[in-house]
Amino acid sequence: MPRLAGSSKLLRAMNESAALAHLLEPGMLTRADLRRLTELSTPTISEVLRRLTDAGLVTVVGYNSGRPGPNAEIYAADPDAAYAAAVSVRDIGPSGAPSVVAALCDLTGAVRARIENPVDFLHTDPRTALVDVVAELSGAAGVPADRVHHVQLGVPGSYDSGTATIRHVDVPGLNRPGLVPEIAAALGTRVGVDNDVNLAAVAERRRGVAREVDGFALLWLGQEGLGLAIDIAGTLIRGARGGAGEIGYMPLYSPDSTHRKVDLQDLFGGAAILALGRDHGITGGTPYEIVAAAAAAPDASGEFFTHLADRIAVGLAAVIAVLDPSLVVLAGPVAQAGGQTLLTAVKGALRRAAPLESTIAVTTIDDDAVLLGALDAGLTAVREALIASIRDNQA
């Protein structure tokens, strides 16, 4: 643990960083608020604010009134000081074909533009597709491209940050080594990449059901595959090569080796749900449609949910035994379709299967969780870069 040491310059940098960090939290602050939060004296706060406004990071957004004395100035981070972009690549978009969904937000998190393009990755290089969509975003938002400080990518696969390559992905070309650095170079911004399930977990922590919890596991039940995100005290566990949570391939124990090897994907992946629906006479072309149809007629489909929940509980029991999370969130299209019906079924199945008790919940995010999570991740990256940049500018 390298502890900081330094001179008065470090002190100033720390104080400015602290003030900026508070101002970047949603909400507007007066000098008195900052004084209370940072425990700095009035003149220092004034000096810090003068420098931050000079740097264009902070602006006066209003005045207090109704109390004796002069009206206190209300400060907030300038929304237009920097922007973050998010791009979610999916092999099966809402239309069934591969697509790219993207959004751009300002420093307060307000979405300024949002677009969705079907992309034929067989004939389009991911690099140009992604660079183009970011350019289109900043155009649509009317924002200078160089103010976009961070682009966050969400991919349906795992990302190995050590080698900067995307793996376990079905989108053609996306696993090419060197792709991410190329994109970063072409865009001229910092580029972050993460698993789409991980980003959904980020959204769940920021605006979903996992807001106040100290750690949680998110089980993603997708149209195709399934995944797991692990949040420990707000930080995501990604594993040695970004492979943490790739539980689809988790092999299951078979007592007599005559059984063929079965993994979790075979139990409640997309294809398994399709088959399970067929067995119970529920019609639907996609897992989402099947589960939604079943949830619409809960009386007729009780057995379907019991079977599905039993299978989900097999995976969850392993996760709970390893991690003991204080909350387990069911998310992804299938979980959204299943809603409360699926939730109660899974709760019952887990009570039968797992010895440790865990709170289970369904996601409360209606919108595109992956995209929102990517925006959140990009935004925190931008904010931390701003806070860190103050330190370096001083030195």
Contact predicate 87/374, CB 8 Å: yes
DSSP for 192-227, written as a single string: EEEEHHHHHHHHHHHHSTTSS-SEEEEEEE-SS-EE
3-state SS, residue 104? strand
CA-atom Rg of the chain in angstroms: 24
Q: How far is the CB of 15 from DNA (least distance, A)?
A: 4
Of residues 83 and 216, the one with the C-beta less far from a copy of itself: 216
Where is 31: in which H helix or E strand?
helix 31-38
CA angle (188, 193, 196) in 5-degree steps: 140
For 54, what's the count of Cα atoms within 13 Å in the CB-facing half-sphere? 8
Interaction pattern, residues 169-208, with DNA; x per rule: CB under 7 A: ----------------------------------------
Output the smallest distance, CB 162 to a copy of itself, in A.
10
CB of 35 to DNA, least distance (A): 9
Instruction: Work out whether 391 is an interface residue with DNA (CB under 7 A).
Output: no
> How many residues of this chain bind a copy of itself (CB under 8 A)?
61
283 binds DNA (CB under 7 A): no
Choose the one of a copy of itself, DNA, none that binds residue 97, judging by a C-beta under 5 to 8 angstroms depending on kind. Answer: none
Q: Which does 232 bind (CB under 5 to 8 A by kind): DNA, a copy of itself, none?
A: a copy of itself
* 1-9, 89-97, 198-206, 363-371 -> range binding a copy of itself (CB under 8 A): 1-9
Q: Output the smallest distance, CB 79 to DNA, in A.
A: 20
Binders in 211-240 for a copy of itself, by CB under 8 A: 214-215, 228, 230, 232, 237-240
Residue of 174, 282, 319, 331 that binds a copy of itself (CB under 8 A): 319
17 binds a copy of itself (CB under 8 A): yes
Q: Show contacts with DNA in window 39-78 (CB under 7 A).
A: 39-44, 46-48, 64-73
Q: Which amino acid is at 24?
A: L
Amino acid symbol at 346: V
Contact partner at residue 66 from DNA, a copy of itself, none, CB < 5 to 8 Å by partner kind = DNA
Which does residue 394 touch among DNA, a copy of itself, none (CB within 5 to 8 A, set by kind)?
DNA
Chain CA centroid to CA 85, Å: 13
Residue range at the interface with a copy of itself (CB under 8 A); choices 13-21, 68-76, 80-88, 365-373: 13-21
From edge to edge, which strands make up the β-sheet containing 215-221?
Answer: 235-236, 226-232, 215-221, 327-331, 359-362
Select from 55, 39, 48 the least CA-distant residue to 13: 48
Specify whether the backbone of 193 is left (phi greater than 0), alpha (psi in -120 to 50) or beta: beta
Specify the amino acid at residue 156: P
Tell whether residue 318 is a contact of a copy of itself (CB under 8 A). Answer: yes
Phi–psi pair at 132, nearest 5 degrees? -65, -45
CB of 384 to DNA, least distance (A): 20
Is position 303 an interface residue for a copy of itself (rule: CB under 8 A)? no
Residue choice 21, 22, 30, 147 for contact with DNA (CB under 7 A): 30
Rounded distance, CA 48 to CA 19, Å? Answer: 8
CB of residue 312 to a copy of itself, shortest distance in Å = 11
Gap between the Cα atoms of 196 and 199, Å rounded: 5
Handedness of CA 308, 311, 313, 315 (dihedral sign): negative
198 token code pair:
């991980």
Angle between the N-to-C axes of helices 8-24 and 369-394, in degrees from 0 to 180, rounded to the nearest 10:
160
Applying CB under 7 A, the residues found at the interface with DNA are 6-9, 11-12, 15, 30-32, 39-44, 46-48, 64-73, 394
Interface positions with a copy of itself (CB under 8 A): 1, 3-8, 10-11, 14-15, 17-19, 21, 38-40, 214-215, 228, 230, 232, 237-247, 249-255, 259, 262, 267, 314, 317-319, 321-327, 353-356, 358, 387
